[in-house]
Amino acid sequence: MLTLLLTAAMSTWLSQKWLLENQAIEMRLMTLASLGETAVSLYEQESPADYHRWLRHTMRSQKFRGNLIDATGKPLLSRPLPPRLQHLAQQVAAQQKRVTIMQSPLLAVATPVQGESKHYYWIASSHLSPEHMREEIYMRIAIVLLAIGIVSWLLTRMFTRPIRQLQERTVLLGQGSLSTRSPENISTRKDELGDLGRSFDAMAVQLDTLINSHKQLLRDISHELRSPLARLQVALELARNDAGGKAGAELDRIDMEAERLNELIGEVLALARFEEGAVQARMSRLKLDDMLREIAADATFEAEPAGKIVVTTDFAVCYIMADQLWISRALDNVMRNAIRHTAANSSIEVTLTVQENRACVGIRDHGEGVAETQLAHLFDPFFRISEAREHDGSGYGLGLAIAKRAVELHGGSILARNHPDGGLQVDIGLPLV
């Protein structure tokens, strides 16, 4: 609003200034033209000497110059006209009406004047002062427009900068940084932007509270389930001994479900530790290619009963600083996820290369792939793509979430993409020693 008011005020001032300057120029032209009657009167009724004196004294005192020429175009004084005024004399003789020249700083007029017995042409000129020159006016306009532009830019920056800051904080909050709050210079303002900042803080606090309470509830439930689950497993072994071989299939089924529940609880608690920042990595120098071969060999035992194979290429020899427990768990989770979702009688391809001081692990399956819109959510906890992809009931949507946090704990990166030839590929990058 302030910018609009300032622009309107400056535009009004410029319009008025332009009008006044034009009026001043027009008045000067009229004055120069009217002096022609005086010149003819002095020349015919007084004497050429009086006319000459008037030109030298009166006209020059007003910083005017003038000449009378006869109908043939000859000046009444011996002094010739300047080239530009000669052209003006030719024009007035041809058009028989007033002709003007405005070529800063020159301002000139030529007009027909009828004497008592002869026809004359009056040629008069003047030089504009700097404040009346069009170039000067244009310069003023340019300066004013530049000033308006600078003020508008400053005002725009003053108002858009807080909005841009809030936008950046909103992105951080959306990425999971729940401690994000609006900058103090916004939240302490007493205007609408301040209200927006305080509303943002209230929303962030509520989100932080809700999500943390959800995480706490999940941790508490997981801890509480551990004890009855342990008692269930003990009771299961006692029942198996008492049954003496009877109901073996049913007891095996209970044992399998109890083990799956125990695995789920373990993964929930592991994820909770990552979320709390309670995982302390015990770093050591590891030979990544040897570790990856061992994990691939273990995965092969799981893949072979389903007619699937794990294919490893020639791994690049490389070393990393990592916690062996967590980095091996991350790689194992990704590899088992690939085994679970690759097509029957197909392969899982594992590669290890070195690029720009980073170890790059690629694990690809030959399954159906994932919709592009869902790729970014693959590493969210409990994310399930579809019932078709999880038809076998294995997996809880936590393996990739834990893998992502374990990789990031080591300063690495992990992302999923659809392979051009089909299937899903997960790429893991880890810094080399």
Token digits of residue 316: 């690049």
Using DSSP's 3-state secondary structure scheme, residue 119 falls into strand
pLDDT attached to residue 391? 44
**Residue 63 Cα distances to 35, 80, 130, 350, 372, angstroms:** 13, 19, 14, 95, 82
For every residue of 98-118, DSSP letters joined together read: -EEEEETTEEEEEEEEE-SS-
- Are the CB atoms for 363 and 296 separated by under 8 Å? no
pLDDT attached to residue 40? 83
Radius of gyration from C-alpha coordinates of the chain = 46
End-to-end CA distance of the chain: 58
In DSSP terms, which residues pair with 362 in a beta bridge?
351, 427
- Are the CB atoms for 421 and 433 separated by under 8 Å? no
In DSSP terms, which residues pair with 298 in a beta bridge?
none
Token digits of residue 268: 């929930």
Using DSSP's 3-state secondary structure scheme, residue 324 falls into helix
Using DSSP's 3-state secondary structure scheme, residue 173 falls into helix
- Measured CA to CA, the distance from residue 385 to residue 370 in angstroms comes to 8
Q: Which run of H or E residues covers position 200? A: helix 192-243
For every residue of 356-388, DSSP letters joined together read: TTEEEEEEE--S----GGGGGGTTSTT----TT
- Are the CB atoms for 275 and 314 separated by under 8 Å? no
Token digits of residue 416: 């999923």
- Measured CA to CA, the distance from residue 216 to residue 269 in angstroms comes to 11
Per-residue pLDDT 10s for the chain (433 aa) are 555 566 666 667 666 766 767 777 778 878 888 888 888 888 888 888 888 888 888 787 777 888 888 887 788 775 777 777 878 888 888 888 888 877 767 788 888 888 887 888 888 888 776 554 455 556 666 777 777 778 777 777 777 888 888 888 888 888 778 788 988 888 888 888 889 889 989 998 888 888 777 767 766 776 677 677 777 778 877 787 777 667 677 777 777 777 777 777 777 777 777 766 667 788 999 999 999 999 999 999 888 888 899 999 889 999 999 999 889 989 999 999 999 899 888 999 999 999 989 999 999 999 988 988 888 888 888 787 765 444 455 566 788 988 998 899 899 999 999 999 999 999 999 999 8
Q: What's the whole-model pTM score?
A: 0.52
pLDDT attached to residue 353? 95
**Which pairs count as long-range contacts for 372-381, CB under 8 Å and 24+ apart, including other chains?**
372/418, 375/415, 375/416, 375/417, 375/418, 378/416, 379/403, 379/404, 379/414, 379/416, 381/271
For every residue of 249-304, DSSP letters joined together read: HHHHHHHHHHHHHHHHHHHHHHHHHHHHT------EEEEHHHHHHHHHHHHHHHHG
pLDDT attached to residue 155? 72
**Residue 86 Cα distances to 91, 99, 101, 403, 421, angstroms:** 9, 12, 12, 93, 86
